[in-house]
Amino acid sequence: MNFFIRWIVTAIAVAAAVWIVPGIEVVGTEAWVGVLFTALILALINMSVKPILQLLSLPVTVLTLGIFYLVVNTLMLYLAAWMANGLFGVGFWIATFGSAFVASIVISVVSTILNGLLGDTD
């Protein structure tokens, strides 16, 4: 899948998470700018760092029957928010771990639906 398409799908998923999940707020001047920069960072992290963390956490993921995978997604969301706020000064603020956990589930579900509609097999 083209990186631009992946970025747009991630941006839509992040916007859905910001809209649905309480405790996730956009930081910066414009809400759409924060969503776009956070989605860019999250798409880059999901392509580079996430596979390494999935491999390292594989034993725990197997023991928990895949539920630890959601924790890895939550950590990637925290990392993306931290990097977007630090590098660009825009992004979003996460109130609690529970908010980030629910937001990572929302982002995963919305991304899966959009990738299914677009015919992505990655």
Cα atoms in the Cβ-side hemisphere of radius 13 Å centred on 9: 22
For residue 26, the cross-strand partners are 92
Phi, psi dihedral angles at 92 (to 5 degrees):
-140, 160
**What average pLDDT score do residues 7-17 get?**
91
pTM, two decimal places: 0.86
25: amino acid identity, one letter: E
Label residue 32 by pLDDT band (50, 70, 90). confident
Alpha-carbon span 34 to 85, nearest angstrom: 9
pLDDT for 120 equals: 63
Distance of CA 91 to the CA centre of its chain: 12
pLDDT for 118 equals: 84
Q: Tens of pLDDT along 37-74? A: 888 898 888 889 888 988 999 999 899 998 999 999 99
